[in-house]
Chain A
């Protein structure tokens, strides 16, 4: 089979940087899929993307589709002919669609019945003839939130389109897509190199763009270049750059030729909390902050440019000019805020509505204070500090700094509290009350910090669920799922023993006058324990294990976790499946019998197997009880496997349904004891 290399490039105005990679990847995926669907072979496919182009290079692509023998099944014979033997509409319609008459169709016989069918030869088409439609469809399938019009053209795309290049080998594939005719001439860099380049073929595409067009088409090459250039600048000041991947990706997507330069701002700005400076540097300006080895922000930063002038002085001084007023703003907010203590912002929370049915932030804070004290009492944290931290935790929302740089909430509160001379735990707890803010974020690890963080999350859940605003689909405006998962992480990662229903009840009592339809306590507890499912799924622990523990309704997340780990260990035991089956059988027998006697009398034991089982039970019960009482669920569960032999032989040789009622009840009593023993840690019957 002949093959050639294929180049497809769409030249556009500047594409949205945050979705550039997704767009290119998606174009690649759907185009490759359509090639495969058509049976067109190739050796490799690679996407390219810059702010002004999306491209694909397919290597060694078949120049022609193979001829294919197709077997097409039609309607069943029963449905194909009426009682007089004339073809039905179903049959004629199908035949027509396949370009034959019903009499030309063959019959396909299978054990399941008979069908009309034909074998037909599909002539392979030339790849070049197929490509324009495939490319059009792949472009149509791009995930674009908002399409646009431009000029007076009827076409729509993400941004206006200027060039289309479809080359197969050295030949142009003719065609028009999005109103643009295919041509080998494409645009180079806006300002460097040649404005227009005539591409020879797919093999020279990347090199020609680089040499003649001053454009690096390869996304990952640009990204690596940015990373290494930024690192070099950080090294030159003995620092470490913040190479936040989202920022690097964004910068990669706004330059066609990345050149990184070093710039500085005035040292005096470093007295402002660095998070506020970094917020504007990264968020507004896409600059790379640099830190000293011990984590302090430096006044040197790195920025990307799309050009590389021999004299970069206006470039550098320009960028330094831009950041100055922004840092001045941050400095101004800092100085304005610092005329007062953090606590003096509290009265302003009286005027900020948290949620209209719940009340102001001041009200909410008063509830968090009380719950923090309650939790501190349970966990042995310093109550006074917890209350203080809770009291201050939302004050920064009224500062000018957080009003302007909303992402710095909590962080600014912490810094201001430190500057006010608040206790270190109190200051930290202000920030950590928000943690964990996202997957992978740190969780508080000290008692006061944990108490406030937990109270914060439970109040969110109780308050918002209490007024009936449950998350729907992907809409969770108050972050209830995040609050529940955050709560789970704080508790479990600190191995904290906490009775969740008790804490939730307390929170509900504090807010009782706000609820529209009674206390949400039960719903909140269920919501929290339901979130555990995804928490465990993320750890690769499957749903049956989670469900087996859920059905014994633990009240503490830690207890839940210990049981989950025990069931996990138990499941690896060779006897596990047998024991689970036995447990199911026991449950069935007991529920059929309708009675569950407690007592077992030695005098009524007849068969050797039941005697031996009871002996084993007598021996193991206190042992397991001891493990269980000490929370050693792993040993409690793995010890069960010691009973396997006795249980098996009991079922092999003993009839539970003895005619003598006393004997029967005695045997049911044995089973009842077994059931209790098995079901203590988890309901193992749901495991298989």
Chain B
């Protein structure tokens, strides 16, 4: 069917992917409203991949990686960018074909463009998570990550969640044939064409300056400790609160990333901070699992009813 959306715009790319995955049984979730390094940290992925409850979901997630900032001077690197995330649990047998279908939807003919699954296993030490999978190459360029989660928050994943992550800026640059991310066309609007640079260039310059030069490290260390304390407290309540605790962890992780950008953490210290976050992630995963178990894993019943 002809595509409804203009693939020569960034918003058209997002809408096309949402439309495609919606047609293939996904709910379209909204982005998470806190700083995260990747779509995986969205509770829809990190928490929902735990336990037996099924899920089919996609969403855009703004992602922040302070160390990747380049003051708006590098054509490819950004400290704030977008991922398009799809999670399917249990991962269906035809998950690779579903993914390839989305590329066709974006206009890539696989008999003209070389599309390949290249081994790339994934590990996130702060989330206590790992999985096996690939990066997907389009004519030699990595455009997506494809992972079968095996462990999250230190817990074995079963059934397995299949996670697909599209790097939207890269994909758009390829489709719009642009040499720099700032030239990407976001939309044709009533006020004329709006580019990625119109919206984000100033942001990249200012945020890079803040991340690398002005972020107050004493404050960030203090905040890290406080967030950790708070999370621990929430997890040791008689009735633990894993969801708010998880958000405190994300805050702590972002402080850590900023401190990293400020080169405020030595190599040996770095490992200790990662382990502190990891320990909390594990406890959150366990408590979340228990809370769902107490509720009787309600999403399982719904799925059974749908069959």
Contact = CB atoms under 8 A, between A and B. Distances in A.
Nearest to B111: A191
Interface string A135-169: 00000000000101111100000011010000000
A26 interface: no
Given A151-B160, A190-B110, A325-B75, A314 B139 contact: yes
The winner among A192, A255, A305, A356 for most chain B CB atoms within 10 A is A305
Interface string A309-332: 101001100110111010010000
A16 B119 contact: yes
A303 B174 CA distance: 19
A318 B141 contact: yes
A325 B148 CA distance: 29
Contacts of A356: 268
A306 interface: yes
Contact of B93 (A151, A307, A321): A151
Contacts of A160: 93, 148
Contacts of B268: 353, 356
Interface in B146-170: 148, 150, 157-160, 162
Contacts of A319: 139-140
Interface string B188-202: 000000000000000
B90 interface: yes
B274 interface: no
B305 interface: no
Interface string B119-144: 10100000000001010001111000
Contacts of B157: 149
Contacts of A305: 114
A479 B74 CA distance: 38
B35 to A, nearest CB: 26
Contacts of B117: 13-14, 51
Contacts of B132: 146, 148, 159
A534 interface: no
Nearest to B93: A151
A328 to B, nearest CB: 8
Contact of A162 (B91, B93, B112, B140): B93
A285 interface: yes
Contact of B112 (A18, A315, A323): A315
Contacts of A321: 139, 141, 174
A87 interface: no
A150 B160 contact: yes
A544 interface: no
Interface in B91-121: 91-93, 96, 100, 110-119, 121
Contacts of B139: 314-315, 318-319, 321-322
B111 A150 contact: no
B159 A152 contact: yes
A254 interface: yes
A325 B169 CA distance: 14
A537 B93 CA distance: 52
The winner among B96, B116, B119, B140 for most chain A CB atoms within 10 A is B140
B216 interface: no
Contacts of B134: 14
Q: What size tier do the contact residues of chain B reach?
A: 35 or more
A17 interface: yes
B58 to A, nearest CB: 19
A249 to B, nearest CB: 14
Contact of B92 (A51, A151, A322): A151
Interface string A33-68: 000000000000000000100000000000000000
Contacts of A353: 266-268
Given A321-B174, A322-B140, A325-B76, A149 B112 contact: no
A311 B267 CA distance: 50
B140 A314 contact: no
A323 B112 CA distance: 19
A191 B110 contact: yes
A14 B119 contact: yes
Interface in A199-221: none
Nearest to A192: B111
A190 B104 CA distance: 14
Contacts of B75: 325, 328
Nearest to B75: A325
A307 B112 CA distance: 7
B113 A315 contact: yes
Interface in A315-370: 315, 318-319, 321-323, 325, 328, 353, 356
A152 B140 contact: no
Contacts of A152: 90, 158-160
Contacts of A14: 116-119, 134
A318 B76 CA distance: 16
A14 B100 CA distance: 14
A318 B150 contact: no
A319 B96 CA distance: 23
Contacts of A51: 117
A151 B140 contact: no
Contacts of A325: 75-76
A362 to B, nearest CB: 16
Interface in A366-391: none
A309 B91 contact: no
A16 B91 CA distance: 20
Contacts of A306: 114, 116
A319 to B, nearest CB: 4
A353 to B, nearest CB: 7
Nearest to B112: A309
A94 B106 CA distance: 70
A155 to B, nearest CB: 11
Given A148-B132, A318-B139, A322-B140, A311 B174 contact: no
The winner among B90, B114, B162 for most chain A CB atoms within 10 A is B114
Interface string B264-297: 0011100000000000000000000000000000
A150 B140 contact: no
Contacts of A323: 140
A592 to B, nearest CB: 61
A75 B121 CA distance: 53
A162 B96 CA distance: 12
Nearest to B131: A148
Given A159-B132, A315-B112, A148 B90 contact: no
Contacts of A255: 116
Given A159-B132, A321-B141, A322-B139, A149 B114 contact: no
Contacts of A150: 91, 148, 160, 162
Nearest to A14: B117
Nearest to B177: A321
A341 to B, nearest CB: 23
A255 B137 CA distance: 12
A306 to B, nearest CB: 6
A162 B140 CA distance: 26
The winner among B111, B119, B157 for most chain A CB atoms within 10 A is B119
29 contacts: A14-B116, A17-B118, A146-B150, A148-B150, A149-B157, A149-B159, A150-B91, A151-B90, A151-B92, A151-B93, A152-B159, A190-B110, A190-B115, A191-B111, A254-B118, A255-B116, A287-B140, A306-B116, A307-B110, A307-B114, A309-B112, A314-B112, A314-B113, A318-B114, A319-B140, A321-B174, A322-B141, A328-B75, A353-B268
Given A150-B91, A152-B158, 4 more contacts: A14-B117, A148-B148, A152-B159, A318-B141
Interface of A: 13-14, 16-18, 51, 146, 148-152, 159-160, 162, 190-192, 254-255, 285, 287, 303, 305-307, 309, 311, 314-315, 318-319, 321-323, 325, 328, 353, 356
Closest 10 CB pairs of A and B: A318-B139, A152-B159, A152-B90, A14-B117, A319-B140, A191-B110, A322-B141, A305-B114, A322-B140, A151-B90
